Structure 1
C-alpha cells in the first residue's frame, strides 16, 4: 500500500476565518483531493513563546528548552512531507504570529536536535503571502529573502505564492483563486516526492 503524503498547513493570521485561513485551507483541499493526508494549525490558537536566544537547542540533546505548544509542532514536523505556511503581510513582512514560529524553527537546524530532520529528504514547502496592495512585486525583496532563509534551513521551497489586491474584497469571492489555490495543492502532491 502506497504511503499517503502528509501535508500540514499553518495559518499565520490572527483572523480564523480571514483571507489567509481560506487560502491555506483551499491549498490543503487540493492536496487532499490528490490523496494527501492534511492537517491545519492556526498560530493564534497556540501558545508559542518567542525564541529566547538561549542556545539551549545547540548545547544539549533535548532540543528546544521552551515548554509550550511549539513542542507539539516539532513532533508533527518529524513525520510531515510538506508544509503550507500562510501569512498576511503586515508592515511589509509576515505577521508576528508567523514570525515567532519561524524563529523557533531555528532549533531544527542543529544536528543534535531531532536527528530525523537531517536523515531524510527535505520537507517540501509552499510559502503563501496575502497582501492588500495590488502590486504583487511591492515586497518581492522580502519574499525572496524568506525563500532563501527557508532553503538555508533545508526546506525544499517549491513556490512562493503572493495573493495581492485583498483590499478589494475577500479571497473566497475571487473565482480565480478557487482554481489556482486548489491547483497548488494538487501539484504539491502530484510530484509524489516522499521520504
Structure 2
C-alpha cells in the first residue's frame, strides 16, 4: 500500500507538516510505503483557466509545465492521499488551493479526457490545522471542502481538524503524537 502526504503550507517545519509527517509515520510503522510532498518546496502555478486539459491540447493533461507534473505521477501511484492545510482566512492555504485547482486537469471523469475510469475511487484524508481552539469554527468550509473532493470522485475517508495551534505548537502537544500516528496506522489495509 502506498500512502502519499501533501503538505499545503508555506512553512516546511510548521504544524501542518508535523501533523502529516506523524500520520505517515503511523502508516509506515504498519508496513505502508509512504512519500511526502511539501508545496513550499515546489513550483506550482495557479490554474490558468485555459481549458487546454479539457480539450486535450496536451498529452499530459495540464498545459502548465511546472512541478505539478511530478504530482500527477505520484497521484496515479497512490492508494491513499493525505492533504493537509492550515486554515488561513477561514479556508485552505493558497498553496493547497492551487494544488486543488490543478487537479481539474486529471482527476475527475466529468472534467478531464485524461482521467482513466477506475472501479476504485482514490482514497483521501483531509487534515486541517488552525490557531483557533474551536475545532468547529470553520465547519461550514470544511464540510464544503469534503463535498467538493467527493464531487471530484475521491473517497473521503476522514476529515481531521487539529485546533488550538496558536498557543502551543503541534509537536509539543503530547495528545497529538499518538492520535496522528493512529490515523496513519488505521489507513493500512483499508
TM (normalized to structure 1)? Answer: 0.92
Alignment of 1:125-164 (within 5 A): 125-164=124-163
5+ residue gaps in structure 1? none
The aligned counterpart of 2:80 is 82
The aligned counterpart of 1:69 is 67
Q: Residue 10 in 1 paired to residue 3 in 2?
A: no
User: How many residues in Structure 1 have an aligned counterpart in Structure 2?
Assistant: 185
Moved over 3 A (4+): none
The CA RMSD over aligned residues, in Å, is: 1.1
Contact 1:81 1:123 in 2 (8 A): yes
Q: CA deviation at 1:120?
A: 4.4
Q: Residue 46 in 1 paired to residue 36 in 2?
A: no
Q: CA deviation at 1:119?
A: 2.2
Contact 1:34 1:190 in 2 (8 A): no
Q: CA deviation at 1:121?
A: 1.0
CA distance in 1, matches of 2:12, 2:40: 8
The aligned counterpart of 1:103 is 101
The aligned counterpart of 1:178 is 177
Deviation digits for residues 101-148 of structure 1 (CA, Å, limit 9, x no counterpart) = 000001122352142xx2241111110000000111110000000000
Q: CA deviation at 1:190?
A: 3.3
TM (normalized to structure 2)? Answer: 0.94
CA distance in 1, matches of 2:148, 2:112: 18
Q: CA deviation at 1:26?
A: 0.2
